Structure 1
Amino acid sequence: MSAPFLIGEAMTGGYGPVDILHSCTLSVEKGEIAVIVGPNGAGKSTAMKAVFGMLPLRQGTVRLDGEDITRLSPQARVRKGMGFVPQTHNIFTSMTVEENLEMGAFIRQDAAIRDTMAQIYDLFPILKQKRNQPAGELSGGQRQQVAVGRALMTRPKVLMLDEPTAGVSPIVMDELFDRIIEIARSGISILMVEQNARQALEIADKGFVLVQGSNRYTDTGAALLADPEVRKSFLGG
């Protein structure tokens, strides 16, 4: 079998002398949606940071499209095709929507930046309406759209989302999930941490249930939703 498009394999690491991750493995294929769920304090966001290079690993490797990127900085990983949207502080509040998107294109040397921006406005029409408005004046859901749009401006091969629906209404959550499905269908791999586990697994090709920094369950989203133990322990029955 060929290796996954992106894999953080047997990752062990943490902060200072304390390991948060214990031989944790996450992976996603091209154009696939992979979701990381689990209880609070399970190491979900830490695992994402490890894959993106924000957390040094004591053991394990990270590979993107067959290349070992374990030692690369987050900035270098962006240039390799990884986009990351943190849960908080993920927009420039004093800048306009369009200026935020332009900031996302800072590494690009090509002439197609406006084409990419047009695609993002097609994906998130409200941003086109509010493109000259300071991003800090937007609703929580609209801010998330700006953050995702800015990451898409780098034209990533993999888009990593840390709690993209945190603090938004159920209607906005459904809209964001619909857009995430659209992004994956365009061929971009999605790896995301999500607190709304049941809804996230419904759109996931693959799911990882983490407990205390380790993989407790790994399967398709549908299989995890159907697993009585997963439902009882992590999905509220």
Structure 2
Amino acid sequence: MAHPFLIGENMTGGYGAVDILHSCTLAVEKGEIAVIVGPNGAGKSTAMKAVFGMLKLRQGSVRLNGEDISRLSPQARVRKGMGFVPQTQNIFTSMTVEENLEMGAFIREDEGIQDTMAQIYDLFPILKEKRHQAAGELSGGQRQQVAVGRALMTRPQVLMLDEPTAGVSPIVMDELFDRIIEIARSGISILMVEQNARQALEIADKGYVLVQGANRYSDTGKALLADPEVRKSFLGG
């Protein structure tokens, strides 16, 4: 049976002696959007960190394109094609927008950096307009665009986003979701944690509801939105 493009399978682990994840499994196919939702303290961000190698697993594995990468450092996973945008402190505030994007290309050894930057400016036109401005002077939504753009500069095969719409207005949230759909359509797999569960599941090919570090529900985004139990317990009815 073919494996998913990226899978964190039966992940158990946490910080010190305390396990936060309990046999948690997350997977995403090429060009798919997979969304992780659940109540506060459910282990959503911890699960993302485990997939990215920022958390040591006691059990389970992470495989990318069939290769076991469980023992690789986060830096090595970036070289394998993973990009990660943390929820906070995800830009260099004193650097310009363009310098932030250039920092994203630090592992690149090819000559195509300017081409990738042009693609990011096409995706986020406001960044081109503000490319010489310090990133710390931008609005919350624009900062998120810089953070996503910087991760895209590595030309990832998988883009992991930890609450990309946290603290932004509903209009900006819709715009960011539109851009995330565009990124997925280019063939990049998206795995993201999102607090705006209903809106996120609307754009998701696949959804995971985590409770206390374990899978409670896993299905397509549409099926989860239609599930009365999921709606009642996690989507406000």
Percent identical among aligned pairs is 91
Instruction: Give the equivalent residue in structure 2 for 1:64.
Output: 64
Query: Aligned partners of 1:85, 1:148: CA distance in 2, in Å?
Result: 6
Q: CA deviation at 1:59?
A: 0.1
Instruction: Give the equivalent residue in structure 2 for 1:9.
Output: 9
Q: CA deviation at 1:129?
A: 0.1
Cα shift readout 1:160-203 (whole Å, capped 9, x = no counterpart): 00000000000000000000000000000000000000000000
Q: CA deviation at 1:32?
A: 0.1
Query: Aligned partners of 1:130, 1:43: CA distance in 2, in Å?
Result: 36
Q: CA deviation at 1:23?
A: 0.2
Q: CA deviation at 1:112?
A: 0.3
Instruction: Give the equivalent residue in structure 2 for 1:22.
Output: 22
For residue 120 of structure 2, give the secondary structure of its aligned residue in structure 1: helix
RMSD over equivalenced CA pairs, Å? 0.2
Query: Aligned partners of 2:51, 2:162: CA distance in 1, in Å?
Result: 12
Cα shift readout 1:147-172 (whole Å, capped 9, x = no counterpart): 00000000000000000000000000
Query: Aligned partners of 2:2, 2:8: CA distance in 1, in Å?
Result: 15
Cα shift readout 1:93-131 (whole Å, capped 9, x = no counterpart): 000000000000000000000000000000000000000
For residue 58 of structure 2, give the secondary structure of its aligned residue in structure 1: strand
Query: Aligned partners of 1:189, 1:133: CA distance in 2, in Å?
Result: 30
For residue 14 of structure 1, give the secondary structure of its aligned residue in structure 2: strand
Query: Aligned partners of 1:139, 1:93: CA distance in 2, in Å?
Result: 12
Cα shift readout 1:66-98 (whole Å, capped 9, x = no counterpart): 000000000000000000000000000000000
Query: Aligned partners of 1:207, 1:215: CA distance in 2, in Å?
Result: 10
Gap regions ≥5 residues in structure 2: none
Q: CA deviation at 1:38?
A: 0.1
Cα shift readout 1:40-62 (whole Å, capped 9, x = no counterpart): 00000000000000000000000
Query: Aligned partners of 2:168, 2:176: CA distance in 1, in Å?
Result: 10
Q: CA deviation at 1:206?
A: 0.1
Length-normalised TM-score, structure 2: 1.00
- How many residue pairs are counted as aligned between the two chains? 237
